[in-house]
Structure 1
């Protein structure tokens, strides 16, 4: 439980510091013989900052609860 709490804390802090992640993907649209037409799409995944705070807080609770059980 302590390890899961530490992981949640790290993920939560990263979510607060980095509010979105974007990347570009390339998709093949058409291929006729040697001719290829590709499409590049930029995708962005974002989340509210408070979600990271909630995850970090849940991780802290898990670490504290794990210490009390030991």
Structure 2
């Protein structure tokens, strides 16, 4: 459980530092045999600030709860 807690802490801190991720998706617009037209679209996935805080706190709780049970 300690490993899971540490992973959650790291992920939570990364979520606080990086507010979201962006990526480029290539979409096929027209496909007429050998002729193909594609369109590149930039998309962004954002998560709220409290999600990073909740994940970090959950990681801390799991880490310390795992130590107390032994």
Q: TM-score, normalised by structure 1?
A: 0.91
Runs (5+) with no aligned partner, structure 1: none
Runs (5+) with no aligned partner, structure 2: none
Distance 2:36 2:6 in 1: 47
Residue 30 of structure 2 corresponds to 30
Cα RMSD of the aligned pairs, angstroms, is 1.0
SS in 1 for 2:68: helix
TM-aligned CA deviation for residue 34 of structure 1: 2.0
Aligned positions, number: 70
Q: TM-score, normalised by structure 2?
A: 0.91
Distance 1:40 1:65 in 2: 47
Matches within 5 A, 1:1-70: 1-70=1-70
Deviating more after overlay: 52-61 vs 28-37: 28-37
What stretches of structure 1 move > 6 A for 4+ residues in a row?
none
